[in-house]
Structure formats: structure tokens, C-alpha cells
Amino acid sequence: MKHCLVIGKPNSGKTLFLLNLAEYLGYKEIEFDVERADGSRWQRQYTLMEARMTLVGPTPHVTQALYATTVILRKGKMTVEVRLTDSTGFCEGIHKDASVRQAMAQTLRQLRQRSMILHMIDGVDAACGGVSKIDEQLVRYVTGCSGYAILVNKMDLLRASEGLLNVRNRFPHHMVIPVSALKRTGFGEVRSFVVGAF
Ligand SMILES: Nc1nc2c(ncn2[C@@H]2O[C@H](COP(=O)(O)OP(=O)(O)O)[C@@H](O)[C@H]2O)c(=O)[nH]1
Ligand SMILES: [Mg+2]
């Protein structure tokens, strides 16, 4: 089994992407193993609609824990298992809320144990101010990891293509996949990338 961690800034669309990807892969429900930075753990099963209503939103840091689920993908005649984990968004500077700081540290620890990383960048964000400092730092941190791809999200929005261009120009040697977590575009390419790692 490969461990695939979804990382990025708050609000880049990590959670919506993971949930809609699971639906795209044929799942109607999702079971999460949730682990908080304080060590507490629990399991929770959602329908995908419930999960979207509970876990996705414009408020930063809705996700303050690791949410892991296992999905099964077809690779030719075989099936492969992927442990997909949603994580706490990284923001610049020192966050005022200790629980958010601890959750970010937990995600950083997880980064070292990953076998694959999907790094979500908000395409509109990347259009406005170019690639953010924190995204630059994340790319530098994971350089050398073979199972690494940048997903430029929110391609359904007007300025996102400009953001995609900025990201591609800035990181010409990395795999960059444009997606819309909302409209579920680019998912086939992400699926091929993940399956290709096996
Ligand atoms: N238009 C658009 N909005 C999106 C897309 N992906 C996420 N969002 C919105 O962005 C906000 C943050 O999404 P969320 O998945 O909670 O981001 P996270 O903090 O990275 O987990 C929510 O209001 C989502 O509906 C997308 O592809 N297109
Ligand atoms: Mg989230």
C-alpha cells in the first residue's frame, strides 16, 4: 500500500478534492481514521454529501487533524491500495492558535513518512500574487520525492489559468496537473499519476 498525503495552504481545496476524488473512484461513503496532534484518534463514516457539508468550507483550518482513508484503484487487471490522507493547511508565520500550530507540526512529521505527495495550490491565488512563499518552501522541502505532483486547483475559476502558468514557469521540472476539485476535472490524470507509482 502507498501512503499519499494531500498538502497545501488552507482553502486550497484539499478536502473537497479528496472527497470528490473518492466519489469519482466510485465510492458513495467514506470512512476516515482521524488523528489529532494530541494523539486522540477516532473513526467516522460519512456519506460523501455529509462529508462535504461537514468538512469543506471557506473558513481556514476546518481540517485540524489527519483524515486518512483507503481507496482501491485498478491497475490493468490488478488492484492497488492507496491510503489517502487529508491534512492541516500550512500558513505563513506563527499561527495564533496553538491547536493549529500543533496540527501543522503533525502534518510536517507526516511529510517525512509519505510515499506520495499531492501538493494543492489554489490557481486563483497563484494568479494574483504568484506562487506563495509557503508553497515555494513546501516544494523545496519535498524535492527528491519521486511520487510528488503539484495540483493547481480551482481551474473552473476565471484567473486560474494564469496561476497555472505561473506555477509551471516557476517549477518547470515538477509534475503539474490542473484540476478542479469542484467540477471534478483533471481527476483521470491524477488517478494515472497515483497508479503509475506502483
Ligand atoms: N470554485 C472552486 N472552489 C473550490 C474548489 N475546490 C475547493 N473550493 C472551495 O474552496 C473552499 C475551501 O475548500 P476546502 O476543501 O475546505 O479547502 P482546504 O482547506 O484546503 O481543505 C471551499 O469553499 C470550497 O468549496 C474548486 O475546484 N473550485
Ligand atoms: Mg480541509
- Using a 6 Å cutoff on CB, does residue 89 contact ligand 1? yes
Q: Can you give the pTM of this predicted structure?
A: 0.96
DSSP 92: S
Ligand 1 geometric centre to CA of 107 (Å): 19
Phi-psi region at 115: left, alpha or beta (left = phi > 0; alpha = psi -120 to 50):
alpha
Q: What's the burial of 88, exposed, middle or buried (CB within 10 Å: 0-12/13-18/19+)? A: buried
Residue nearest to atom 28 of ligand 1 (CA): 154
The total of structural domains in the chain comes to: 1
Residue 87: give the domain boundaries.
2-196
The 10s digit of each residue's pLDDT in 120-176 is: 999 999 998 899 999 999 999 887 777 999 999 999 999 999 999 999 999 999 999
Handedness of CA 12, 18, 21, 27 (dihedral sign): negative
Q: What CATH number is associated with residue 38?
A: 3.40.50.300
- Indicate which atom in ligand 1 lies nearest the CA of residue 16: 15
